[in-house]
C-alpha cells in the first residue's frame, strides 16, 4: 500500500503531530489525536495501515477506564509511547 498523498493527507498528519506535541494530560491529548486520525480515515485523507490499526487498538486499551476512574500513570506513559510510534509511522499511511 502506498502512502496517502495530497494536501488533505499532509494537513491530517500535521494536525495529528501538533496535537500529539501539545503539553497537557497525556491521555486527553491521545484521545484528541485519535479523533483527528479517525476523521482523516473517515474522509479518506489517510488510509489505515496494519501498524496504525494495531497501535490504535493498543491505545484504546491504554485509554480504557472504569466509570469514575481517572486515567494517569501507566495509561499516560503508554499513551505517550504509542503516540510516538504512530507519529513515526504516519508518513506510511
Residue 1 within any structural domain of the chain: no
Nearest to 28 by CA among 89, 68, 86, 75: 75
Mean pLDDT for 50-69 is 80
Q: How many domains does the chain have?
A: 1
Q: What is the pLDDT of residues 11-44, one digit of tens each?
A: 999 999 999 999 998 888 999 999 999 999 999 9
Q: Note the pTM of the prediction, 2 decimals.
A: 0.84
Residue 68 has what pLDDT?
47
Is residue 2 situated within a structural domain?
no
What does the pLDDT read at residue 66? 43
For residue 36, the enclosing domain spans 7-92
Whole-angstrom CA distances from 56 to 1, 6, 68, 82 are: 19, 23, 23, 8
Measure Cα distances from 91 to 3, 16, 62, 73 in Å.
7, 12, 23, 29
Amino acid at each position: 500500500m502506498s502512502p496517502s498523498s495530497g494536501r488533505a493527507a499532509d494537513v491530517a498528519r500535521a494536525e495529528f503531530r501538533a496535537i500529539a506535541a501539545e503539553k497537557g494530560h497525556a491521555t486527553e491529548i491521545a484521545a484528541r489525536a485519535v479523533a483527528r486520525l479517525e476523521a482523516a480515515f473517515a474522509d479518506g485523507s489517510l488510509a489505515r495501515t496494519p501498524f496504525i490499526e494495531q497501535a490504535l487498538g493498543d491505545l484504546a486499551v491504554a485509554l480504557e477506564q472504569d466509570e469514575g476512574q481517572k486515567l494517569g500513570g501507566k495509561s499516560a506513559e503508554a499513551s505517550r509511547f504509542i503516540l510516538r510510534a504512530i507519529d513515526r509511522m504516519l508518513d506510511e499511511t
